[in-house]
Every structure is written in structure tokens, then in C-alpha cells.
Amino acid sequence: MAQLLEGKTALVLGVANKWSIAYAISAAFVREGASLILTYQGERQRETVEELGGELHASKILPCDVTKPEELEALVTNLKQSAPVIDSLVHSIAFANREDLSRPFLETSRDGFLLAQEVSAYSLVAVSRAIAPLMTRGGSITTLTYLGSTRVVQNYNVMGVAKASLEACVRYLAADMGPKRVRVNAISAGPIKTTSARGVKDFSKVLEGVAAVAPLRHNTETAEVADTAAFLASDMGRGVTGNIVYVDSGFQIIGLGISD
Ligand code: 1JT
């Protein structure tokens, strides 16, 4: 079968380990013929990402902490020399303080609120602006979001507000970058037990509850998210921009689910 991403170069931010959504996306992109560039956040993640990048035959593995403008600049300088054209950017990055995902939302601190916004929403704007000059053939930017952006989901709290902000960023970026044929979309994934989710209180109950009522009656797998990401990055997705694509077994259409 023809490969969806043949001849394209993808930059993927957010691989932390082999359970990362960004790792599944990277693997799908490579399967579809893309050339892959990965970034890691901080020295602590370097070794893991280098190992995973090696398995995926990534052409480059570079440091990038999205909260540090100088690291973004260094990333772009490096890419200009070695991979002058980027066709696809994947942003799979979020952060919030643990306590903000368990206390009542009312108790969110100013610092916790701003930190979640900076890492989880503003970083998409910063990275898109930095990489835009390299997207000379047009292309696709895809980020990851969650239903807690538009509905109240217990404990998601400050991340829900950050994801609402991120989804609005997707629409404004899509409007700005459309004339240059750069598309910007988000995938709203159902809950997945990644390392980020592992510490979340009652997360197993969330998974059980969703699988019981979602139309497809199972929990979202990273591979499902990855295949949608490949579609969006490919020319098959050429008419889609500014959208939130739900990859959640259909959970978001359900009003009141009664499990059988
Ligand atoms: C972060 C964390 C972002 C967990 C995240 C996240 N986006 C999705 N999840 C998983 C999740 C979490 C909750 C949930 C459903 C899914 C951890 C900290 C860093 C940012 O509630 C039902 C709470």
C-alpha cells in the first residue's frame, strides 16, 4: 500500500517514553514513510528519547524545553542547517502541578494556572511561530487535547482551562497560517493511561467508566490517535484545518451513558 507521508519530514515534540502518545505518532509517521526529528525536554529525558529515536531511525534528536525561548531558537538554527523544510509538526506537550489536578478547581493558584497555560497552550504558539519559516511547502501542525476543555471533568481542573485555551489557539493559528497552506488541528483523545495520567486520582475508574458507555465500548489506544495524526499530516487531510478531531471511541456524543 502507498505510504501516506512519503517524502515528508516531521518534527515531533513530546516523546517522553514508549507509552507517550507522541511515540505512537512517531512510529505511525515512520511507518508511513516520513523522516522523523524528535525533541526531548531536559537532560533527564535525553537518554530515553535517544534510544527510542534510534529504534525509529530518527534523523535528529534535539533538546527543546518549550518554556525557554533560547532553546527554541537553537532548535530552529539547527534545523535550518540540516532539515531546511518541515512538513509536519506534532505538539504533544502539557503540564500542570499534581495538586491542581486533585484539589477543588476553586483553589487553583495563580502560579499553577499560569504554568499550565504556558506549557500546555502558549507553547503551541511559540513553536508554531518558530517553525513556520521552515514550513515552506505548506504542511500540518497537530496538537493533543482532551474533552475537559469544553465539559467539566472531575479533577481535570486547570488542565481543562489550559486545553480550552489550546483549542482556541488552534483556531487562531489556523486562520493566520492558512494562507501559507499550513493547517492547524487538534486531536481530542479519550483518556489513555500514559505516564502523565498514571498519578491521576481514580484514573482507572475513569477508564472503566468511559469504556462502559462509549459507542465503541473500549478505551482509546495510542495507535488510534497516531493513525488520525498520520491522516491529518498527510495530503489526505488537505481540506481540514482549525478542527478538533475526536478520537475517543465516540464518547463525546453521549449525553447520559447507562452501562450494560
Ligand atoms: C496532564 C496530565 C495533561 C494528565 C493528562 C493531561 N491530559 C490528559 N491527561 C490525562 C487525564 C487526566 C485526568 C482526566 C482524564 C485524563 C497530568 C499532569 C500534566 C498534564 O480526568 C478524567 C485528570
Domain covering 9-249 in this structure, CATH number: 3.40.50.720
Query: Which residue minimizes the CA distance to atom 17 of ligand 1?
Result: 196
What is the pairing mode between strands 88-91 and 60-63?
A: unpaired
Does 246 participate in catalysis according to the annotation?
A: no
What was the pLDDT predicted at 83? 75
Strand partners, 136: 138
Q: What is the pLDDT of residues 88-97, one digit of tens each?
A: 999 999 999 9
% the chain with pLDDT above 90 = 95
Any catalytic annotation for residue 156?
A: yes
The tens digit of pLDDT for each residue in 200-222 reads: 889 999 999 999 999 999 999 99
The cell 502541578 sits on which residue?
97
127-158, pLDDT tens digit by residue?
999 999 999 999 999 999 999 999 999 999 99
Domain coordinates in residue numbering, the chain: 9-249
For the entire predicted model, the pTM comes to: 0.98
Query: Is the pLDDT reported for residue 1 higher than 90?
Result: no
**Pair 245, 187: CB distance under 8 Å:** yes
Q: Specify the DSSP class assigned to residue 125.
A: H
Q: Could you tell me the three cell numbers for 162? A: 489550559
Please give all residues whose beta carbon lies within 6 A of any atom in ligand 1, as ranges.
94-96, 101, 146, 153, 155-156, 159, 191, 196-197, 200, 206
**Structure confidence by residue, pLDDT tens digits, 62-86:** 999 999 999 999 999 999 998 789 9
Q: Whose grid coordinates read 488537505?
A: 238
User: What does the pLDDT look like over 155-190, one tens digit per residue?
Assistant: 999 999 999 999 999 999 999 999 999 999 999 999
